[in-house]
A and B are shown apart, each in its own frame.
Chain A
Amino acid sequence: MQSKISIKDLDFFYGKAQALYDISLEIPEREVVAFIGPSGCGKSTFLRTLNRMNDTIPIASVKGQVIIDGKDIYAPGTDVVALRRKVGMVFQKSNPFPKSIFENVAYGIRINGIHSSKEDMNNRVEKALRDAALWDEVKDRLSTSAFGLSGGQQQRLCIARALAVQPDVILMDEPASALDPIATQKIEELVVELKKNYTIVIVTHNMQQAARVSDRTAFFMLGKLIEYNPTQKMFTNPNEKLTEDYITGRFG
């Protein structure tokens, strides 16, 4: 298995409180890995260590290594801006910018200076929207406000926005938790489709969702990685009693 991301002995602290304990995990290229676990188990915190989003929290500190394509992203001198361009993120609550649909997708391209011309920009925006399975729904109203879209469309817009800067990895933090079943299904289909070109890490509260979309599942509890296995193994015959109890709804 070709690892895209290797996490080695990762500890994470909020001030003095330890939130993650000695986590080691290999995330293979072009697979979907799901993180599950009860609320507060550290799965979202862990996800956010993978693109250093936790840097925005002043009291947060990290020990251990997160190696993406052979480079430790916590090594001194790491370009966080370049890292985040490579490791995109989609959030729990869709968070379009107060701009037009077009400008939302163009934003990342523009700030990173990826486009060569206006023409190139248009093509990139269109491709990102197509890849996010949103193009047909918005192509006639690209200049209208992103807030006019439905919740599910807004979330796909945020995915398009992330895709537009051509990342290798996409982190998704409960991307469908606020959506209705149809919109959720579309996001899930999209995740499976995107797997062909991207490595995807998805945090979800919905175990059926993890079962449906992921190749591997990691189960977290109280900041510890309890079990990490192929998804079909996790959901038919987990190794750990704790995993079994969680996925069969005995707690959590």
Chain B
Amino acid sequence: MAEAATVHSKRRITNLVMTSLTAICAVFATSVLLIIIGFIAYQGISSLSWEFLTDTPKPVGEGGGIGNAIVGSAMMTLLAAAIGLPIGIAAGVYLAEFGKNWYGNTIRFIADTLIGVPSIIIGIFIYTVVVMPMGRQSGLAGGLALAIIMIPIVARTTEEMINLVPNSMREGALALGAPQWRVSWNIVLPAATSGIATGAMLAIARITGETAPLLFTALNSRFYNFYYDQPMSSLTVQIYNFATGPFEVEHAMAWAATLLLVGFILVINIVVRYLTRKKY
């Protein structure tokens, strides 16, 4: 009896210690995020202004802003999404619905490898096959680099979302005499829509934060540029330029641009949360 009681209380203490430990770790992890966001906001908020959001960069001391970088980021993200989403989603559908063979396995392996490749290597690749033949950096090259980063992510999340669609739903449609492609197209895909949209949003958030692949491909520009065949500014590269500059004013502008970027990614994450909320 006494022995059992000892074992029991020992178990309770272990339980208490472990629970507290995990709770502390959880608080630590979230507080790091909060501290970072808070620090960025503190550093960046003072430089935010209408001028900052709309103007182009000017020589130190004359003010200026990141308007052209915002437009550039948006244009390149749009291009990347326009190329990357259809290809990625189509590939994901293929992998989920028809890819249970050696060919599918090969594609899956390549996609997983591609996800793990450092993004600067993608930049170098695009530099070789697009920038060198064209003779100059461009928004097109930047968008392509981002698209290549995006495709395997979208493909794999799409596949996983489609795999979550219960098999019984496929069988229900097959049993009505639907051919396989119709089952995939108008039963499985609609059922996975919110999941696929989530994956797409997260992929967009991911590429918005990319700097390395753009350094070689889109380079930068001090002016508003609405043409894909010209070098293009982006938020991330602009932040890099500001942050590596020697002046305090530039550093402050880097913080403000960072705040904008983090805010954007945060908004996307909240939208994703909202999209997926209904289901659970």
Contacts and interface: CB of A to CB of B under 8 A. Distances in A.
Interface stretch (A6-14, A67-75, A158-166): A158-166
A95 interface: yes
Interface string A160-187: 0110010000000000000000000000
B177 A81 contact: yes
Contact of B171 (A56, A88, A99): A56
B169 A88 contact: no
A85 B168 contact: no
Given A85-B177, A108-B177, A97 B172 contact: yes
Interface string B159-189: 0000000101111111111110010000100
A58 B177 CA distance: 19
Contact of A95 (B169, B177, B178): B169
Contacts of B187: 97-98
Interface in A89-131: 89, 91-93, 95-99, 107-108, 111-112
A204 interface: no
B38 interface: no
Contact of A89 (B166, B175, B182, B190): B175
Nearest to B101: A58
Contact of A99 (B170, B182, B190): B190
Contacts, number: 67
Interface residues of B, number: 18
Contacts of B100: 58
B168 A162 contact: no
Counting chain A residues whose Cβ lies within 8 A of the other chain, the interface size class is 20 to 34
Interface of B: 100, 166, 168-179, 182, 187, 190-191
A98 B190 contact: yes
Contacts of B175: 51, 53, 84, 88-89, 91, 162
Contacts of B174: 53, 56, 84
B171 A107 contact: no
Contact of A111 (B169, B170, B176): B176
Closest 8 pairs (CB-CB, A-B): A108-B176, A89-B175, A85-B177, A95-B168, A95-B172, A84-B177, A81-B177, A98-B191
A165 B190 CA distance: 22
Contact of B168 (A82, A93, A111): A93
B177 A111 contact: yes
B178 A91 contact: no
A162 B175 CA distance: 8
Nearest to B166: A95
6 contacts: A81-B178, A95-B166, A95-B171, A96-B172, A111-B176, A158-B172
A112 B178 CA distance: 8
A84 B178 CA distance: 9
Counting chain A CB atoms within 10 Å of each CB, the highest count among B175, B179, B187 belongs to B175
Contact of A165 (B168, B169, B171, B176): B176
Interface in A37-63: 51, 53, 56, 58
A96 B173 CA distance: 9
Nearest to B183: A111
Contact of B176 (A56, A98, A162): A162
B173 A107 contact: yes
A111 to B, nearest CB: 5
Nearest to A88: B175
A116 to B, nearest CB: 18
A21 B152 CA distance: 46
Nearest to A84: B177
A161 B190 contact: no
Contacts of A107: 173, 176, 178
Contacts of A96: 172
A108 B170 CA distance: 13
A161 B177 contact: no
A165 to B, nearest CB: 6
A81 B93 CA distance: 22
Given A97-B187, A97-B191, A99-B190, A84 B169 contact: no
A108 B112 CA distance: 38
A125 to B, nearest CB: 14
Contacts of A158: 172
A77 B70 CA distance: 60
A56 B175 CA distance: 11
B50 to A, nearest CB: 45
A97 B177 contact: no
Counting chain A CB atoms within 10 Å of each CB, the highest count among B100, B177, B182 belongs to B177
Contacts of B173: 97, 107
A95 B276 CA distance: 21
